[in-house]
């Protein structure tokens, strides 16, 4: 899960404002002359904004490795929820089997 923060004291700096156009995912918009985050979840952690600013700073992008977003589609034979439940069931079964094989060593 991405977290994107604009440092308030730098939100009006020219280099920071340029990040509205640099971001390929349209995470930012300029409001009242300052850069603001408008779609944090769209960030794909490409780092184009932070690389543009380099050591000047102004934007902090981090990935939360305890929370994940994912999307998937089905072919229609199962609902998305059924497909997710089945995937979890298969993973659980595989993990149990793996644990049993480890214990048998």
Give the binding site for ligand SF4 (CB under 6 A). Answer: 4, 22-23, 25, 27, 43-49, 61
Quote the tokens at residue 104.
């048998």
DSSP 50-70: HHHHGGG--EEEEE-TT----
Q: Please state whether beta strands 34-37 and 28-31 pair in parallel, antiparallel, or not at all (unpaired).
A: antiparallel
Closer Cβ to ligand SF4, 4 or 16, answer by number: 4
Smallest gap from Cβ 46 to ligand SF4, in A, equals: 4
Smallest gap from Cβ 25 to ligand SF4, in A, equals: 4
Smallest gap from Cβ 16 to ligand SF4, in A, equals: 11
Closer Cβ to ligand SF4, 48 or 84, answer by number: 48
Closer Cβ to ligand SF4, 8 or 76, answer by number: 8
Closer Cβ to ligand SF4, 15 or 83, answer by number: 15
Question: How far apart are the C-alpha atoms of 16 and 101, rounded to whole Å?
Answer: 54
Torsion on CA atoms 70, 16, 38, 26, rounded to nearest 10: -60
Smallest gap from Cβ 72 to ligand SF4, in A, equals: 21
Residues with Cβ within 8 Å of residue 68, at least 6 apart in sequence = 1
């Amino acid at each position: 899960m991405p977290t994107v923060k604009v440092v308030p004291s730098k939100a009006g700096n020219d280099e920071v404002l340029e990040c509205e156009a640099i971001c390929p995912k349209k995470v930012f918009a300029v409001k009242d002359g300052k850069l603001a985050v408008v779609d944090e979840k769209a960030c794909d952690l490409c780092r184009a904004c932070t690389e543009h600013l380099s050591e000047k700073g102004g934007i902090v992008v981090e990935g939360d490795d305890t929370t994940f977003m994912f999307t998937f589609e089905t072919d229609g034979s199962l609902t998305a929820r059924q497909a997710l439940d089945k995937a979890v069931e298969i993973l659980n079964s595989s993990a149990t089997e793996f644990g049993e094989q480890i214990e048998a060593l």
